[in-house]
Amino acid sequence: MLEKRQQLPQTPLIDAGYFIFCLEAVHDIEMNETTETQKKLEQLSLQYGIASIHKTCDTIEGLEDSLNALVLDDHHFKNYEIIYLVMTGEANSICLNDYYYTLQEVAEIFEGRLNDKILHFSNAKALDLEEEEFQYFLDITGAKAISGYGNEFNGISSSNLDSVFFNLFKEDDNMLDVVEELYQKHYKLCKLLDFRLYY
């Protein structure tokens, strides 16, 4: 009797034209533990074929060094459409090792260096910006948009919705269409986490 062999699913080829650059805040970069974020990015690669670079930082200097290395040394930089930040903070700030930095301070560090990038925050922090705050950030850095969530982690991580968002971007680079489709497909989760796009 012939046995029907089960075919293994093929891993999609990585699209070399689209990358996610992820910066995750940790307490100590010397600790070499795999984070939940890294696991999610591996899934993103396997499931959707989206390549990513993951770096950790524990100081504002580390954040700056990582982004500088990306901007200055990585020849694929123009292919990184999304810079994914996984860090805690307040509505208009990020927190690194118990120090808070406003988005205005971050903007000044990366003046003119984030052209056409989307800065996407996970819901490790709530994102709540006044028009002048986000406009200043976009004007100074050249970024296309800032996205994130009005409600921070409350037992529900945004990582699954983040993955869908990144994948939709791979298919369509019109960010307004992407957000509309995200809401159509995952309305309840978008509402629950309060997905936001500032542009």
Render pLDDT for 43-85 as a digit per residue (tens, 0 to 9).
999 998 898 999 999 999 999 998 888 777 766 666 788 999 9
Q: Report residue 4's pLDDT band, with 50, 70 and 90 as the boundaries.
A: very low
- Cα separation values, 84 from 11, 74, 126, Å: 23, 17, 14
pTM greater than 0.95 (yes/no): no
Please state which CATH class domain 19-198 belongs to. alpha beta
pLDDT attached to residue 26 = 93
Element spanning 101, H or E: strand 99-102
The pLDDT tens digits of the residues spanning 21-44 come to: 999 999 998 888 899 999 999 999
Domain map (residue ranges) of the chain: 19-198
Question: What is the separation, in whole angstroms, between the first and last Cα of the chain?
Answer: 62
Q: b/e for 173-182, b at 16 or more Cβ within 10 A?
A: eebeebbebb
Q: Could you tell me if 140 and 115 are in contact, meaning their C-beta atoms sit under 8 angstroms apart?
A: no
